[in-house]
Amino acid sequence: MPYGATAVRPDWEDLPAGLRDALASRLGGPPAAVEVAGGGFTSGFAAVLTGPTGERVFVKAAALDGQRHLVDWYAHEAAILARLPAGLPVPRPRWALTDSGWYALALDAIDGHTPRLPWDPAELAAALTTYAEVAAALGDPPADLVALGLPRLADLARDDILWWGEVAAGREPLPEPAVRAPLAELVALESRLPGYADAAPGLAHGDLRVDNLLLDAAGRAWLCDWTWLCHGPAWFDLAGLLITGYATGLDADTAFAGHPAAAGAPADALDVSLAALAGYFLTGAAAGPSTASSPHLRSHQRWSGAQALAWLTARQGWT
């Protein structure tokens, strides 16, 4: 997937004039440059705005009427970012405003690039180092962060992530990449996720993907897009990220086993995660074209699900 160019977003000129004026007022004048983000799968405005004095901010914006879910996501993310432990490589909120029927959130602009696929081993190492730092900080999260009433991965799994049971019951079609996979074993593996997640302390990012990372000039990885923070094990995040490492041909098994986020995980945590993610992605990909988000969404789901299933198949010795 071209993860740096998956989004279809409005340009600066597409925003209401009143919103553009309000943003310009915050910047101290009309922006000298607007760099619309190419990554992501939502249809909201997202761009780095450079003010007349050279100050740069990353602005997300969405319409209150018609994109209310994005507005709620952005506001929730701002609350999370403001409460994350100090010193983490994450963007922090600057300000927010509502004008002309739109909500806009300004964050620190991270001067970096989306990691390239296939992974450069040094870039993947930087991403894994950053996630080790984040996972350690969220192992015992601040009380004001927990007080936001974050969801539990166990509940999200039961409600939206686990799909092989639906396939086995005939309520969902069998995805083509899984026609030779042992369905009963997939069901058994994914069914362990809620119990494992409930037993795990700490918080998980919930959406750790290559396109939610930025690498700066010093080689440090920054973790972005914090809407889906939840109570759950960091090793589930790690498995999701390493799907692209497996697809690149790197030793993803060793990377998972040796990462601090996997310390103390159940012996089959990686297999359970891959089974759940494979079912989630492959059934999502079969849902047909998405009109409310990126036209690349289904391709991303299909590719991610196929890679997760291929990795699990290799680990289990299925033929």
Domain boundary among 108, 134, 155: 108
Residue 83 within a domain: yes
Same domain? 165 vs 17: no
Cβ contacts of residue 181 below 8 Å, gap of 6+? 309, 313, 318
Residues 90 and 163 in one domain: no
pLDDT tens, per residue, the chain with 319 residues? 788 888 889 999 999 999 999 999 999 999 999 999 988 898 999 999 999 999 999 999 999 999 999 999 999 999 999 999 999 999 999 999 999 999 999 999 999 999 999 999 999 999 999 999 999 999 999 999 999 999 999 999 999 999 999 999 999 999 999 999 999 999 999 999 999 999 999 999 999 999 999 999 999 999 999 999 999 999 999 999 999 999 999 999 999 999 999 999 999 999 999 999 999 999 999 987 766 678 889 999 999 999 999 999 999 999 8
Say if residue 157 is in the same domain as residue 279.
Answer: yes
Q: Sheet harboring 213-216: ordered strands across?
A: 112-113, 213-216, 221-223
**Would 68 be classed as within a structural domain?**
yes
Q: Are residues 145 and 271 in the same domain?
A: yes
* Cα 145 to Cα 58, 100, 133, 152, 156, distances in angstroms: 23, 31, 17, 14, 19
**Which CATH number fits the domain that encloses residue 66?**
3.30.200.20
Domain of residue 46, residue span: 12-108
Say how far apart CA 212 and CA 58 lie, in whole Å.
14
Residue recorded with tokens 């015992």:
140
Q: Tell me the C-alpha distance between 188 and 200, whole Å.
A: 20
CATH number, position 158: 3.90.1200
Last residue of a domain, one of 108, 140, 164: 108
